[in-house]
Structure 1
Amino acid sequence: MEETKQVSGVEEMKAVAHPLRVRLLGSLREHGPATATELAKRFQTDTGSTSYHLRKLAQFGFVEEIADPSGHHRARRWQAAHKTTSWSNTQLAATAEGREVVGFIHRRQVQTLTENLERFHSSMAELPEPWVEAFGNGDLITSLTHESLNALWDNFYADLDRLSKQDSDSAEARPIAIFVSGLPR
């Protein structure tokens, strides 16, 4: 699997910005390969719709079909083609349609944050104390240049990559939802 899918235009971004497609892609990234039937059950939709949306994601290179490990030739399994999706805000913000689709993705990310936060709070009593204590959420206002904000992103992702590799073989490692944002005010 490649590291990052770089979106280059509005049509490509619209392909992933559909409400079900963004959830399908996220699920394949988090849970690994699945069939359209498995995904339809997960998202309580019909297999035909799920298959259609997976083919649309494949058309733009977000997902790819893989061989079924059971050797069953009729079962179509899908996997995410990349770990992350990236785009140029400047390039997509050049049109109203681009701004709309990027806005949808950003709002979906905030919705996912809220869902993860609610899930965390409802399970706090069952989590081991070190995990409850490790939870963090911040709301900071500072002054930076755009160069410094870009440097912050570069450093953040480099540290995250280093720590992910460091912990990849640890039995104590868990999937962690991380949401970051840097919004000019």
Structure 2
Amino acid sequence: MDENAGTAKGVRQVGEIEEFKALAHPLRARLLGALREHGPATATELARRFATDTGSTSYHLRKLAQAGFIAEAGEPGHPRARRWQAVHRVNEWSAVDMAATAEGREASAIMRRQQVDILIRDVEAYEAALSSLPTAWVDASGVGDLLVRLTPDSVNTLWARFYAHVDELVAQDATDPAARPVSIVVAGLPRNAS
């Protein structure tokens, strides 16, 4: 992880469909994720990371900046030398508001599938590295699923407690040299009663 990573602070509440659509583009989501994980970078560095051309990468970075998800890091410079950084640590939105329109439902579906794609990439990378991981990490790693009966209020309580506990653990481990980035993907999706 880059020494400048983690400089983004706080939560961004995404309220407008146009903002949400800016996030729903697959390359933009990956660019924002890389800026959050690795810290500030130029379009050229990000294009190299994702095997895209610099022009396309610059275009998508400008779209993220226009929507307020990223900003220039430090002094403005030549467009190709401009360094970008994430503005917020995480984005949130109202699932109810997004489900109210066809555009919102489409953008939400794209975001959910991107999250599943991240999980697949992380599982594949984990499996490729499994033989070289320390035993403690092998023991701590895993993927699980549960099927439980809950009310919508209980699911919302679960989310709140889960994220609060994650924040506590991140703060606890912030200076521990044994800590490393850990991908956590969670879902709570109702099934039909039948």
Which of the five TM-score ranges fits, normalised by the shorter chain?
A: over 0.9
Whole-angstrom distance in 1 between the partners of 2:169 and 2:145 = 23
Q: Which residue of 1 aligns with 2:77?
A: 73
Q: For residues 4-42 of structure 1, what are the alpha-carbon distances to aligned partners after superposition, in whole Å with 9 as ceiling and x for unaligned?
A: 111102111111111110110111111111000000101
Q: Which residue of 2 aligns with 1:153?
A: 159
Whole-angstrom distance in 1 between the partners of 2:161 and 2:88 = 21
Whole-angstrom distance in 1 between the partners of 2:95 and 2:190 = 13
Q: Which residue of 1 aligns with 2:66?
A: 59
State the AA in 1 paired with 2:31. L
Pick aligned residue for 1:2 from 2, 9, 22: 9
SS of the equivalent of 2:72 reads strand
Where in structure 1 are there 5+ consecutive unaligned residues?
none
Where in structure 2 are there 5+ consecutive unaligned residues?
1-7
Q: Which residue of 2 aligns with 1:45?
A: 52
Whole-angstrom distance in 1 between the partners of 2:24 and 2:147 = 29
Whole-angstrom distance in 2 between the partners of 1:8 and 1:117 = 32
User: What TM-score comes out, normalization by structure 1 length?
Assistant: 0.95
Question: Within 5 A, what are the aligned runs for 1:1-185?
Answer: 1-67=8-74, 73-74=77-78, 75-185=81-191
State the AA in 2 paired with 1:27. A
Mean Cα deviation higher: 59-68 or 19-28: 59-68
Whole-angstrom distance in 2 between the partners of 1:132 and 1:175 = 14
SS of the equivalent of 1:23 reads helix
Whole-angstrom distance in 1 between the partners of 2:112 and 2:16 = 16
| Percent pairwise identity | 55
How far the C-alpha of 1:104 sits from its partner, in A, is 0.2
Whole-angstrom distance in 2 between the partners of 1:2 and 1:184 = 32
Whole-angstrom distance in 2 between the partners of 1:159 and 1:19 = 29
Q: Aligned Cα RMSD in Å?
A: 1.1
How far the C-alpha of 1:89 sits from its partner, in A, is 0.5
Q: For residues 51-109 of structure 1, what are the alpha-carbon distances to aligned partners after superposition, in whole Å with 9 as ceiling and x for unaligned?
A: 111010011111111116xxx83321001111111110000110111100000000000
Q: For residues 129-181 of structure 1, what are the alpha-carbon distances to aligned partners after superposition, in whole Å with 9 as ceiling and x for unaligned?
A: 01001012111000111111111011101110000000000000000000111
